[in-house]
Amino acid sequence: MTLSSNNEQNGISWQAAVVWLTAGLAVLLCTAQAHANDDSIRALIQQAGNTDSDEARLDYLKQLRNQPGLDASLKGDLDKLITQIDSWLNEKQLDYFGREVKRNKDFDFKIAEASALYPLTWLYRGRMVIWYAMESGSVWSIPERRRESFAIARGFFEKYAVAFPENKIARMYLGHPTGPYKYYETEPGAPA
């Protein structure tokens, strides 16, 4: 008895076996593609979080937004985050978040905590709380309120520094100097 006739006796034709094998391979390929896409998303989020430049962070997030196959939730969160970072960079007056920070000692980016993008909000939320504390006489001039604001901001920076350990800006707010970014040539014979 041949293999073909044996399989046909068992009710399985070689065509059915090929269909099942093809379907199985398709599932494996789709799963592999989904994992590769997830890895690509995570890599861009890490690059965005680890860069010290707000402009570069915005560019990384725009690159991510343009990737095909993103789910609707991630696209929506990207749109919100891109809008907020753009406002941070380009608003003529940076106090657009002041009322909310005054009320809540925080700023709501309207991004769910479960979102892969949520950790990126911590840097801006910490900066917003610090900015408000320093600009508001009702916070800055009262030591207890100033300490409370700084403690809240510090919490945001600590979480950000854990999520994005290469980012120098969050660590700067935590007391680690970043060093000069521009070096100037010295004149010959000038003292060190």
Give Cα separations from 191 to 17, 154, 186, 187, 188 (angstroms): 82, 39, 9, 9, 9
Q: Residue 93 has what pLDDT?
A: 82
Q: With 80 as the cut, is the pLDDT of residue 15 above it? A: no
Mean pLDDT of 99-107: 94
The whole-angstrom separation of Cα 178 and Cα 168 is 6
Mean pLDDT of 128-135: 93
Where do we find the tokens 């994992």? 35
CA nearest neighbour of 57 among 72, 44, 73: 44
CA nearest neighbour of 14 among 28, 3, 25, 26: 3
Q: Residue 137 has what pLDDT?
A: 85
Q: With 80 as the cut, is the pLDDT of residue 29 above it? A: no
Q: What is the pLDDT of residues 44-55, one digit of tens each?
A: 999 999 999 999
DSSP tag of 185: P
Direct distance between the N- and C-terminal alpha carbons of the chain, in angstroms, rounded to an integer: 93
Domain boundary assignment for the chain: 13-173
Concatenated DSSP letters of 142-182? SHHHHHHHHHHHHHHHHHHHHHSTT-HHHHHHTT-----S-
Q: Binning pLDDT at 50, 70 and 90, where does residue 138 land?
A: confident
Determine if residue 38 is left, alpha or beta; phi over 0 gives left, psi from -120 to 50 gives alpha, anything else beta: alpha
Q: With 80 as the cut, is the pLDDT of residue 56 above it? A: yes
- Residue 83 is inside which H or E element, if any? helix 72-90
The whole-angstrom separation of Cα 125 and Cα 83 is 14
Q: Residue 123 has what pLDDT?
A: 97
User: Hey, what are 28's tokens?
Assistant: 């494996």
Query: Who's near 139: CB < 8 A, 6+ residues apart?
Result: 132, 133, 145, 146, 149
Q: What is the pLDDT of residues 116-131, one digit of tens each?
A: 999 999 999 999 999 9
Q: With 50 as the cut, is the pLDDT of residue 146 above it? A: yes
Q: Which residue has the higher pLDDT, 162 or 94?
A: 162
Q: Which residue has the higher pLDDT, 181 or 128?
A: 128
